[in-house]
Amino acid sequence: MKPTTAEMIKEKTLKNDATVGALLHIITAICAFLFSLARVKSLWLPFGAAFVGGAKKKYLAASLAGAALGYITNISSGGFAYIACSFAIITVRLVLGDIRLTRQPLFLSLLTFFALLVTKLAVIYGYGGSIIGVIGEAALAGVGAYFLAIVFN
């Protein structure tokens, strides 16, 4: 039996939607990768974690993959601390589920701030730095997550 015109259009639309969705995830991963390579004072790499913190829930996996790949290339700068921070952000967001609070930019920025603060304080003596520097870096990540959350929405 020959498919109707409506069925053919529906099939093409579904293929295009899947292609567009896959393309958006790939673009998100590439952006997270590039953000994670951005440095401040040649020591701090807070922007990949900010990208993960500000990403929409459906792009969390892609943003984590991109940021983790970027941080792996910066192992000597403490990349594993940033990967741990990104996992902490995603864990809290997934545990809290779809409550309205998890979509608020202010919540996402505070979550990113505290996740980066805790993970960087845990490794401060191994990689060097000061507590004031860690607080500044965490604040930078929080502000970045706030603006990225607004952009994603």
- The pLDDT, as a whole number, for residue 14 is 57
CA 149, CA 153: separation in Å to the nearest integer? 6
One-letter amino acid at 15 equals K
pLDDT digits (tens, 9 = 90+) for 64-102: 999 999 999 887 777 888 999 999 999 999 999 888 888
> For 17, phi and psi rounded to 5 degrees?
-65, -40
Look-up: residue for tokens 């520097």?
Answer: 133
Is 33:67 a contact under the CB 8 Å cutoff?
Answer: yes
3-state secondary structure of 123: coil
pLDDT digits (tens, 9 = 90+) for 97-138: 888 888 899 999 999 999 999 999 998 887 777 899 899 999
pLDDT digits (tens, 9 = 90+) for 12-38: 655 677 788 889 999 999 999 999 998
Judge whether residue 10 has pLDDT over 70.
Answer: no
Is 82:64 a contact under the CB 8 Å cutoff?
Answer: no
Judge whether residue 9 has pLDDT over 60.
Answer: no
Out of 6-15, 25-34, 53-62, 134-143, pick the least confident. Answer: 6-15
Residue 98, CB-side half-sphere exposure with 13 Å CA sphere: 1
Q: Which pLDDT band, with edges at 50, 70 and 90, does 152 fall under?
A: confident
- The pLDDT, as a whole number, for residue 106 is 95
Q: pTM (2 decimals)?
A: 0.85
